[in-house]
Amino acid sequence: MKTSTTDIAIIGAGPAGAAAAAWLASRGHRVRIVERARFPRFSIGESLLPQCMAYLAECGLLETVEAGGYQRKNGAAFCWSGSYRAIDFRDKFSPGPSTTFQVPRADFDQRLIEGARALGAEVDFATEVIDFQADAARPRLEVRDEHGVERSIEARFVLDASGYGRVLARLAKLDRPSRLDERCALFTHVEDRIDSESGFDREKILIGIHPKRSGVWFWLIPFSDGRASLGVVGSAAEIDALPGDDAERLFALIEEEPRLAELLARAAPVREIQRLRGYSADVSRLHGPGYALLGNAGEFLDPVFSSGVTVALHSAVLAAPLVERQLQGEEIDWQRQFELPLRRGVATFREFVEAWYDGRLPRIIFSEGQPARIRTMISAVLAGYAWDQANPLVSASRRRLDSLAASCTHHR
């Protein structure tokens, strides 16, 4: 079997892989990315958080994103049985960028990986990782291309950025059950045809809560070209109990939410309705001899607060400098310097996800007379600043959310 060598092998060319590759390649390291798909390719996770902008700048990829002509995003809006609340990221507790973009991921991911290639990274598309041998000094990947040709890549370090493919979680037997309940998402893209007189704010993602079905919620993510990403999330049992196929189920549920039904009265799908089930995932550890896991390849929570790309980019900018230092001969404590810091922010997002589904967070968001300081703390977390320990809703998420929810007497 033919063997090639590189400094860093990266599995996956999505945001985490592209960001890590760009950072490392720009500093002169040999980087080879192995990607199973051919780009551009469709993906969900289309509403970025402002914290992403700092990470993209750190990796040298911000300019290529800003040139994409994407829909500007400055916050998140929530609707529930006739009530409406908007959270403006420009009014947030934590320092840092306050606006970001809503992006068709096929184009966004293509821009990121081309940016990484321009900085010197090499990419093998349509190539699948079929085996992995961990080693502190020379980890090895066995790969197979679209023609069935197999070869070996020997690296000095491997980063797994395979996202939902979760390559090393499978090959290194790292999978463990997620602490979140299993849920199902139905989604598509539509020509939204939203009336300009409707009052719809295209600079915010709209999250709708079903008026009667507990745990069912919707996303509407407008793009700059008049299209939008549209989806619904709920338990698979509840969604499957609805009559018809998945397209009929999705639009029947939308008809039951007044604001979305009004906005999307003339909408037309431009993609087949897709289904994703059991997406929440976790691993027993995020690193091992000669490797580390980035983004969704490690732990993925839930789409409700669009945290996926933020976690992916954060993990990339956290891991890449550690890889460089290790290759330079420094002893790296991957548990203390990578896994624990990364998981702290993920834990904050997880507390918000759990509070969303058990009703505490909607009660807080829709409460009346909320102090301005509390609004800025919530805004900061929803803007992606889940690692800012100065924010009480980060440093003591569960206790603070419990206290806030208990103090809310009116939520709709």
Q: What is the CATH number of the domain that holds 318?
A: 3.50.50.60
Q: Which residues, in sequence order, are bridge partners of residue 28?
A: none
pLDDT score of 64: 97
pLDDT score of 76: 98
Q: Name the residue range of residue 385's domain.
A: 359-407
The phi and psi torsions of 305 (rounded to 5 degrees) equal: -110, 20
Under the banding of pLDDT at 50, 70 and 90, the label for residue 128 is very high
412 pLDDT higher than 60 = no
CA distance 327 to 47: 35
Average pLDDT, integer, range 335-342: 98
pLDDT in tens, 17-63: 999 999 999 999 999 999 999 999 999 999 999 999 999 999 999 99
Claim to verify: residue 271 and residue 197 sit in the same structural domain: yes
Average pLDDT, integer, range 78-87: 95
If you search the block for the tokens 């732990």, which residue do you land on? 299
Under the banding of pLDDT at 50, 70 and 90, the label for residue 307 is very high
Average pLDDT, integer, range 122-139: 98
Quick one: what percent of the chain has pLDDT higher than 90? Answer: 97
Distance from chain centroid for Cα 356? 17
Average pLDDT, integer, range 207-230: 97
Average pLDDT, integer, range 152-168: 97
Claim to verify: residue 272 and residue 287 sit in the same structural domain: no
pLDDT score of 116: 98
pLDDT in tens, 244-269: 999 999 999 999 999 999 999 999 99
Is 241 domain-assigned?
A: yes
Helix 51-58 to helix 308-327 angle (10° resolution) is 30
State how beta strands 140-145 and 127-133 pair.
antiparallel
At 4, is the secondary structure helix, strand, or coil? Answer: strand
**What DSSP state is assigned to residue 47?**
B
183 pLDDT higher than 60 = yes
Claim to verify: residue 21 and residue 147 sit in the same structural domain: yes
What are 285's two structure tokens? 């550890």
The phi and psi torsions of 16 (rounded to 5 degrees) equal: -65, -45
CA distance 257 to 208: 7
Each residue of 124-136: b (16+ CB within 10 Å) or e?
bbebbbeebbebe
pLDDT score of 16: 98
Question: Who's near 378: CB < 8 A, 6+ residues apart?
Answer: 87, 364, 365, 393
Claim to verify: residue 270 and residue 196 sit in the same structural domain: yes
pLDDT score of 134: 98
CATH code of the domain covering residue 229? 3.30.9.100
The last residue of one of the domains, among 277, 299, 326, is: 277
What are 117's two structure tokens? 């290639």
The last residue of one of the domains, among 277, 302, 330, is: 277
For residue 315, what is the enclosing H or E element? Answer: helix 308-327
Under the banding of pLDDT at 50, 70 and 90, the label for residue 168 is very high
Q: Which long-range CB contacts under 8 A does 373-380 form with residues at least 24 apart?
A: 373/93, 374/404, 375/87, 375/91, 376/91, 376/92, 376/93, 377/93, 378/87, 379/75, 379/87, 379/88, 379/89, 379/91, 379/92, 379/93, 380/92, 380/93, 380/94
Is 301 domain-assigned?
A: yes
Average pLDDT, integer, range 105-134: 98
Average pLDDT, integer, range 192-215: 96
Is 59 domain-assigned?
A: no
- The alpha carbons of the chain give a radius of gyration, in whole angstroms, of 21
Q: Within 10 A of 81 (CB to CB), how many other CB atoms are there?
A: 14
Under the banding of pLDDT at 50, 70 and 90, the label for residue 368 is confident
The last residue of one of the domains, among 247, 277, 307, is: 277
pLDDT score of 369: 83
Is 65 domain-assigned?
A: no
pLDDT score of 370: 85
Measured over all CA atoms, what is the biggest interatomic distance in the chain, rounded to whole angstroms? 68
Is 291 domain-assigned?
A: yes
Q: Within 10 A of 306 (CB to CB), how many other CB atoms are there?
A: 25
Cβ(230)–Cβ(190) below 8 Å = yes
Average pLDDT, integer, range 56-72: 98
Average pLDDT, integer, range 128-134: 98
pLDDT score of 144: 98
Claim to verify: residue 33 and residue 110 sit in the same structural domain: yes
pLDDT in tens, 4-20: 999 999 999 999 999 99
Claim to verify: residue 252 and residue 379 sit in the same structural domain: no
297 pLDDT higher than 70 = yes
Claim to verify: residue 170 and residue 287 sit in the same structural domain: yes
Average pLDDT, integer, range 365-378: 93
Is 98 domain-assigned?
A: no
Claim to verify: residue 188 and residue 327 sit in the same structural domain: no
Number of folded domains that form the chain = 3
Is 83 domain-assigned?
A: no
For residue 143, what is the enclosing H or E element? Answer: strand 140-145
Average pLDDT, integer, range 336-348: 98
Amino acid at 383: A
Claim to verify: residue 159 and residue 12 sit in the same structural domain: yes
351 pLDDT higher than 60 = yes
410 pLDDT higher than 60 = no
Cβ(119)–Cβ(18) below 8 Å = no
pLDDT score of 409: 65
State how beta strands 31-34 and 8-11 pair.
parallel
Amino acid at 298: G
Is 90 domain-assigned?
A: no
Quick one: what percent of the chain has pLDDT higher than 70? Answer: 99
Claim to verify: residue 143 and residue 10 sit in the same structural domain: yes
Claim to verify: residue 251 and residue 213 sit in the same structural domain: yes
Cis upstream peptide for 321 (omega within 30°): no
Claim to verify: residue 216 and residue 163 sit in the same structural domain: no
Over the chain, what is the mean pLDDT? Answer: 96
